[in-house]
Structure 1
């Protein structure tokens, strides 16, 4: 199964509270921080909501 490397590229300052909660729930804290999450529908849905704040790479 593949994984996704999610990197925060823009700050969450002055963003909607829901977007802040999503970023924190992924485990991202500061700009340029990264996490690896499994590639599934739930993760893809969360990424869709904050796509303008993150970059996503596939990792094996």
Structure 2
């Protein structure tokens, strides 16, 4: 199963509430926090919505 390591690299302050909710849904609550998420179409869609705020790396598990 492929995983994605997602890191919040830019503050969501000043961005729309919907984007902040997407980050919270992925578990990204603080700057520089990293989470390991399964590589699914829904997660890819969430990442696409906030791609300007996060950094993504592929991980094998």
TM bracket (short chain): over 0.9
Q: Match of 1:24, SS? A: helix
Structure 2 unaligned regions, length at least 5: none
In the alignment of these two chains, the number of paired residues is 60
Show CA shifts across 1:6-58 (max 9, x none): 00000011110000000011101111001000001011000000000000000
Structure 1 unaligned spans of 5+: none
TM-score computed with the length of structure 1 as normaliser: 0.96
TM-score by length of 2: 0.95
Q: Which runs of 4+ in 1 moved over 2 A?
A: none
